[in-house]
A and B are shown apart, each in its own frame.
Chain A
């Protein structure tokens, strides 16, 4: 059992990135590599949030359009137009963050990589009604209180449901 004082000393490294003008973090340990978006081959029949497949170091991996998966567009339409940052096509979907979800390499399509930083575990708080979040709480591991403003720490393993992971694994094995 980790004591509260030990927990407060713990630090994690996070990578901060942007999708549709919203900034998110993931634990750096979950990222294998971040690569500029290359040629993604579209698939005729798959989930609507799958952008396509990509040849990553000789392995075929699925590329997830995070904006679609997290349904960020729905949140954006709810926001007042003047608040929403418009992302031009040239600025969107520029990078692929390769993560390993239950031994399957998967790519998350994101717009911009901002930085990496160390975060004290006690700066990560659970969800509370004071936070308006742009995405479903199912995908959220916590909220990180950065000096300027809080940001969502994504739970990488929950971005795809078990059923989605199984389906993707099946399609990969075809």
Chain B
């Protein structure tokens, strides 16, 4: 027996949730599907490949005030930002949910990133299983799957005009609209099969490929923008700076990327990673070598956004293939 909710009832439930808390869901914006705050359930897009940006900005915003500095009677007080409101993040695919789990590792490690922790604690994740895999998808090679319920509070899987409802956490179970959920014999259709990418053993092979000229050759066409890191569900690098405005002083953290020229440049001008090749290499080593060696799983979830949006087609799947081949050659 499975629990199901009809599409109609799903929209009613979402409308209910919108009345109670902030709901972030995929919605149309200028011909794009982006995660946005929605005020009406009918604005939510239920059938889409994937959003342009991952939902990580709900937990690690593009820009976020860490604290403000208040001056009172010649005294200084630091006022930390807090996350006040309960939120529902609706419609994320399992790859993005896994992305959250990946980012949790460094950000929640002691000492935990307080604001990130608050965002995560106050958000309930309702995911949508994928009914099709895009040509850029490869989540099954990255430790998740189009129907993976882990890392979510609730997973919805579409079956005709209804959705199978799986609540995997207490938080998820508490949110379910018991009046709208029915029991059913319906089973989930087989999930789509994304393309496979040979990630088996990639971490070991990467160790040997560090000095290869492959990286600077690949970097020839890299534009060193931040696009790949910004659309990515698992990239989390950030910058911190103070802002002075009429209202006072704010310390703001914003996304940044290791690809930016000047990412590692010290005051005084010395830059240990001045070349395009070294910067490009850093990104792939972080994802396929350093992160997995430190935390035990790859720093990529196979959502394929970087593949789809990189203006010069730097394709991580191709890189993994190429590095595996390089590794095989050097063994001969």
Indicate, yes or no, whether A interacts with B.
no
